[in-house]
Structure 1
Amino acid sequence: MSIPITMPALSPTMEEGNLSKWHVKAGDKIEPGQVIAEIETDKATMEVEAVDEGVIAEILVPEGSQGVKVNTPIAVLSGEGQAAKPAAAKSSAPTSTEAKQAPPEPTSKRAAPAPQTVASKPAERILASPLARRLAEQGGIDLSGLQGSGPNGRIVRADVEAARKAPPAATQTQASQQSREVTKPAPQQAPPATLESYGIRSNSYDLVPLDLMRKTIAKRMTSSFRDVPHFPLTIDLEIDALLKARGEINKRFADNGVKISVNDMCIKAAALALKLVPEANASYTPDGIAMHHHADVAVAVAIPHGLITPIIWAAETKGLAQISAEMADLALRARERKLKPEEFQGGTFSISNMGMLGIKSFASIINEPHGMIMSIGAGEKRPIVKNDALAIATMMTVTVTCDHRVVDGALGAAFLKAFKSFLEDPMAMLL
Structure 2
Amino acid sequence: MERGEDGHPDVLPGAAVVDRLRRALAQVSGQALGPYQSAVVRIGFAGTWLFFLLREFPHRQELYGPDGPWSWQLAERLLAGNHAFTVLLWSASGWWFELVYGLAVAASALLALGWRTRATSVLFMVGVLSLQNRSVFMGDGGDNVIHLMAVYLVLTRCAQVWSLDARRARLRGSAAAGPAGPALWGVLGALLAWAVLGGRLSDGWAAVFAALWAGALLWWLAERYEPEGERRAALDVLANLLHNAGMLVITAEVCLIYATAGWYKIQGSRWQDGTALYYPLRLDYFSPWPGLSGVLAGSGVAVMLLTYGTVVVQVAFPFTLFNRRVKNVLLAVMMLEHAGIAVLLGLPFFSLAMIAADAVFLPTGFLVWVGARACALRVPLRGAASRPALPPLPGAPPRPPLLVVPPPDPRAPNAGEAG
State the TM-score, normalized to the length of structure 2. 0.24
State the TM-score, normalized to the length of structure 1. 0.24
The higher relative CO (CA closer than 8 Å, separation ≥ 6) is in: 2
Which is richer in helix? 2
